[in-house]
Amino acid sequence: MLLPILIRDPIHGSIKIIYNEERKILDSPYFQRLRHVSQLAGAQLVYPSATHTRFAHSLGTMHIAGLYASQLFPDDENRIKIIRLSALLHDIAHGPFSHQFDDAVYSKYFKEVKKVKEEILSGHDYQRITVLKRLLEENYIDEDTYNGILDIWQEKDSIGNAIVQGVMGADRLDFLLRDSYYSGTQHFGSVPLDRIVNNTYIKEYNGQKILCYSYKLIDDLYTALIGRFFMYRNVYFHKAARSADILIQHMLEEAANEFNLYEWISDLDKFKYLNEYVVTGLIFAKGSKKLRKLYTRIFYNRDLLKMVHEFYEPPFGIDLHDLRRDFLKRYLERKYIIPIQEMLGKDVPIVPDTLLDLTFFNPTEFTASNVYIYDPKHRIPHSDEDIVTMEFALERLKYLPFAKGFGIMRLYTEAQYYNEVKKKILEISASEEKSISTRA
């Protein structure tokens, strides 16, 4: 084994590269590509310092996963290595502009070209397995490591999955710390990382091994999850950030068609070079006037869509998100978009954003990730169990009523139509309220 490498990092101080596989992967084009894939696409147009990348986030995720693994499996070097590598590679297939590439390009490619069912795997999750196979073929990892990483990603290793991608896993903890730091909202990213890791255990429950957080951490977990809520509300779902995201998606859809980016996905020898610099270069070297104009509008002129309407819905279960999203989109079309375009003209753009669900947290996320609360001294009121669900703990501690959130739906339009569209929306809303009061 080579001597460890220390990488300086503003979030974790130093990140240690321990294993030979880590060093080889780190210096591969598949991983170096992530230096030029932004962590926050649209949000960096609102928060100017939020220009960090998937490269740094992946290193930070590996670091936290390694802390967890060393705490839970101190004598199992191979298990620690596989958990670290699965974390290092968890975002290996993100395309240019991260999640906007998922929505604009991956979704079409895997549904229409590869005929992959969305409920089985997301586009990114499907592609990262393809990249992982290539790493195996090119001897970056061996077959046992490949299978171990796959087990974590596909939740066959439920503890490994909870460590890397769980509700308080390494991925979420690093993006909360890193994104809040670079966006200048550190007050939302206050996470006592050492305390959480050092109070995590593996216990037996209903005949299987599970991950548990100590009862002592409940306030820390609650605080971290509330911070995550405010990060979504203020950073990820900021109205101007989402406006930029919508336009970036339109740009990527056009770029995918003009440059056949679907071929870049299917050919890993091309994919390993697919990043934001390459897409930008293609746009200005070979792109249509329409595409160049759209890129210039977003990144040079910051001429974003204007949010013209926003309304809130009560939250539903996670499993109902897609159903609610489609229903509310049709509702907006019937109530606002079609009537307003009939009054003002079909060429007036009114663009709905996707449904944005905001909850302080959903306690069932813990159970779904096979993560529980360990309370051997029975300090949770009216409980005589050593291991309980997070939902049970919060209910007994009277925290649960504060865990509710809401869904947000928004409409956007071009700046020149803002006043007209806003006026019509107010007229429609006033008419509806008058109708309700008359019926009452």
> Can you give the CATH number for the domain in which 164 is found?
1.10.3210.10
Closest CA to 168 of 126, 108, 212, 207: 212
Nearest to 321 by CA among 282, 365, 289, 277: 365
Task: Please tell me the predicted confidence (pLDDT) of residue 186.
Answer: 95
Among 409, 407, 410, residue whose Cα is nearest residue 314: 407
d(CA 387, CA 345): 61
298 assigned to some structural domain:
no
Does some domain include residue 217?
A: no
The reply to whether 328 falls in a domain is: yes
How many structural domains comprise the chain?
2
Other beta carbons less than 10 A from residue 253's beta carbon: 16
Structural element, H or E, at residue 80: helix 77-88
The answer to whether position 130 is within a domain reads yes
Give the total residue count for the chain.
440
Q: pLDDT truncated to tens, each residue of the chain (440 aa)?
A: 567 899 999 999 999 999 999 999 999 999 999 999 999 999 999 999 999 999 999 999 999 999 999 999 999 999 999 999 999 999 999 999 999 999 999 988 887 665 555 544 568 899 999 999 999 999 999 999 999 999 999 999 999 999 999 999 999 999 999 999 999 999 999 899 999 999 999 999 988 999 999 999 999 998 998 899 899 999 999 999 999 999 999 999 999 999 999 999 999 999 999 999 999 999 999 999 999 999 999 999 999 999 998 877 655 544 445 666 677 778 888 888 888 888 888 778 888 887 777 776 676 778 778 889 999 988 888 888 999 988 888 888 877 655 566 778 899 999 999 999 999 988 888 876 555 444 44
The answer to whether position 189 is within a domain reads no
Domain that holds residue 119: 5-184+238-247
| End residue of a domain, out of 223, 247, 271 | 247
Bridge partner residues of 16 (DSSP): 6
Q: Tell me if 391 is assigned to some domain.
A: no
Domain assignment of residue 24, yes or no? yes
| Residues 148 and 58 reside in one and the same domain | yes
243/312 same-domain check: no
Domain boundary pick from 227, 247, 267: 247
